[in-house]
Amino acid sequence: MATLLHYPLCPFSRSIRLALAECGVEVTLTEERPWEWRQGFLELNPAGSLPVLITDEHGPISGAYAISEYLDETAKGDGEARGFRLFPGETLSRAEARRLVDWFHRKFHDEVTAYLVEEKVYRRHGPNSGSPNIAAIRAGHENLRYHLAYMSHLAETRPWLSGEAPRFACMCGNATLAMVVSSTCMNTGIITPMVSSKRCARDNACGWLMAQWRRGPQRPTPTSWQGPSGPTDSPSATRRNRKAGA
């Protein structure tokens, strides 16, 4: 059986846990604390990042991008038939799914999750533990509004977050938002009651977000996407201000 090195509050790890569950792949979960830079872990992945899937056939596969592509190519269902596809559809549909994966794993992470989760969790438990940077947390909160508006726009205009069919991008959206909710935002009032009152059902399911998108026309109607000019401060501007010490 394969082993997944992960951390519970790592959004990349969560997206792969969801993908494994949807693909019907059983793994052994082993918690890895990325801030410890354990030698054995670095030998598997010199980048020191999570997740890492250690397969019986092909050895370690590092990173959510590589693991998702590996699962899409190799995951089988009952009777050796292809199971759930993480990147189904035609070329343009797959390209859009990958664009959204990059949005959540790079843009959302850099502008929201990295501020909230890393300040609230990694800073407290890492080797150089200390008090969270309040300015960074505030910047993450402001950026979150922008990203929730965009996610609402996608949910309003498409049957699924990533288009006409469920894809890995849906799991990435679930994972990033779930980590923010779990770490800091449950009682801030930033997330609407519709979102904050629902908990992700289980870690091996796609949780509340995917359940709502699967309901199609019955799902609550979110607000319209206003584009980058909607928020008072754009995420990039807020991030630049924070770096400059503003």
**pLDDT 10s digits, 205-238:** 334 444 443 433 333 333 333 433 333 343 344 4
Report yes or no: 11 and 176 within 8 Å, Cβ to Cβ. yes
**Which residues of the chain fall below pLDDT 70?**
76-83, 125-128, 183-246
Structure tokens at 18: 């969801």
d(CA 225, CA 152): 7
Kindly report, residue by residue over 64-81, the tens digit of the pLDDT: 999 999 999 987 654 444
Quote the CA–CA distance of 153 and 161 in Å, as a whole number: 9
What's CA 125's distance to the chain center, in Å? 21
Q: Which domains does the chain have, with CATH numbers?
A: 2-80 (3.40.30.10), 91-243 (1.20.1050.10)
According to DSSP, the residues that pair with 55 across neighbouring strands are 59
Looking at residue 82, what is its pLDDT?
A: 52
How far the first Cα of the chain sits from its last, in Å, is 50
